[in-house]
Amino acid sequence: MTDVAAIRSALLSWYDREARVLPWRTGPAAGRMGLRSDPYRVWLSEVMLQQTTVPHATPYFLAFTQRWPTVEALAAEQDGELMAAWAGLGYYARARNLLACARAVASQHGGEFPNSEEGLLALPGVGAYTAAAVAAIAFDRKANVVDGNVERVMARLFAVEAPVPEAKPELKRLAGLLVTDERPGDWAQALMDLGATICKPKAPLCDRCPIELFCAARAKGAPESYPRRTKKADRPRRHGVAYIVSRRGETALVRRPDKGLLGGMLGLPTSDWRDRPWSDDEAARAAPILAPWRDLGAVEHVFTHFSLTLRVMVAEADVAGDFVWTPHEGLTALPSVFLKAARAGLERLV
DNA sequence: GACACGTGGAG
DNA sequence: TCTCCAAGTGT
């Protein structure tokens, strides 16, 4: 691997010129002065960015850091407030783990994040990637930071023929060959920036790539065909009913159990989500209260592992019950699937 | 190792 | 419309 030094030099130079300005990054000037990023902000950004695009996560990052400037402030927040602030970002286990992690750091680590990969890895919601990323970016520790971007860059740089996910260990090994003690945080971010802006999944911009000359996939003429992938299984469809119980301009919500889909979030009461559609009678029987239900049509929503056809039913009912009553105009801090159902329902209600 | 777990943008 | 997939983790 005589090219290691040349590849590193080319990519780090590119990063020094082209690094994107992102709210969780300190500027290159601060980096040269030896200033590290705030571990809290680095950690928060890394968790938010898991399986999530920069444009989607950015407004949440800004809102969170304004409202909770420190890990202690976050640790002191109520569960429900945190979950509401996370609504719309998806993968809600991240939010539950975020709070658990903040509380662990506050109560067991004196408010300071562990500064080693191993220590970070022990925290809730911090896996191999996030531990390595925070260690490298916030603490300047040498770490092999491997996310989807890095896997793609490695698959192309070395023209790895094995398909992912089978090739993941090999891709990680290859990434490790390029890691040194020099500028670990910048190296990790350079590699990820390259993957995000140049070495994109489709239509990579090879003519702008600083390491094009080293790229085996480019030499073969089909960089976009890496990494090889195995076919994905078809996404099944499920059917459910969501119920809008309306009372004087308010709607009944329920807190979902911590485990499972949309865990810990507020949502509309629903039936089970099953393989077969729901008839009117079945929908009425599965409802949270006895009432004259009106059919308001259906909405479609796609989750990672299934598609959902969700019928929306509405009833006016002056009931008590174990509900969280929320004004119609306040139905904003909900998972997107319920936002979709509530909006469709309330539109058609008028 | 396989699967559960959200969402929205791009092509 | 439809497929892909984005700075992954927990079980």
How many domains is chain A partitioned into structurally? Answer: 1
In this complex, the residue with its CA at the shortest distance from the C1' of nucleotide B11 is A202
- The pLDDT score that the predictor gives to residue A330 is 87
pLDDT, tens digit (0-9, with 9 covering 90-100), for A310-335: 999 999 988 888 899 999 988 999 99
pLDDT at A318: 87
Q: How far is the CA of A44 from the C1' of B2 (A)?
A: 28
| Domain with A335 in it | 237-349
Closest nucleotide relative to residue A46's CA, C1' based: C7
**pLDDT by residue (tens digit) across A99-112?**
999 999 999 999 99
> Would the pLDDT of A36 be above 70?
no
Å between A302 CA and C1 C1'?
14
pLDDT of residue A233: 80
Tell me if A41 is assigned to some domain: no
Q: Tell me, yes or no, whether A299 lies in a domain.
A: yes
Say whether the CB atom of A263 is under 7 angstroms from strand B. yes
The pLDDT of residue A31 is above 80: no
Residue A1: pLDDT over 90: no
Instruction: Convert the pLDDT of each residue in A76-89 to its tens digit.
Output: 999 999 999 999 99
User: Which residues fall within 8 angstroms of residue A63, CB to CB, at 6 or more apart?
Assistant: A85
Q: Nearest residue to C3, CA vs C1'?
A: A232
pLDDT of residue A178 exceeding 60, the answer is yes
Give per-residue burial for A229-240: e unless 16+ CB within 10 Å, then b.
eeeeeeeeebbb
CA at A311, C1' at C1: how many angstroms apart? 21
Angstrom distance (rounded) from CA A291 to CA A164: 51
In a domain, A292, yes or no: yes
Is A126's CB less than 7 Å from nucleic acid strand C? yes
pLDDT of residue A230: 84
- CATH, residue A333: 3.90.79.10
Token pair 């090739």: residue = A167
What does the alpha-carbon distance between residue A37 and residue A307 come to, in Å, rounded to a whole number? 40
Answer whether residue A186 is part of any domain.
no
For residues A281-294, average pLDDT: 95
Q: Is residue A220 part of a domain?
A: no
pLDDT at A29 over 80: no
Reference A131, options A32, A50, A24; nearest CA is A50
Active site residue A117: no
Q: Is the pLDDT of residue A303 over 60?
A: yes
What are the E-state strand segments in chain A? Answer: 237-247, 250-255, 266-267, 294-302, 307-316, 324-327
DSSP string, A202-226: SS--GGG-TTGGG-HHHHHT-GGG-
- What is the mean pLDDT of the segment spanning A270-274? 95
pLDDT band at A165 (very low <50, low <70, confident <90, very high): confident
Instruction: Judge whether A267 lies within some domain.
Output: yes
Q: Is residue A320 part of a domain?
A: yes
Percent of chain A at pLDDT > 90 equals 86
Residues 143-202 of A with CB under 7 A from strand C: 147-149, 152, 189, 192-193, 195-196, 201
Distance CA A318, CA A247 (A): 6
Mean pLDDT of chain A: 93
Q: Within chain A, what is the greatest distance between any pair of CA atoms?
A: 76
pLDDT class of A35 with cuts at 50, 70, 90: low
- As a rounded value in angstroms, the CA-to-C1' distance for A9 and C9 is 33
* Residue A104, domain member (yes or no): no
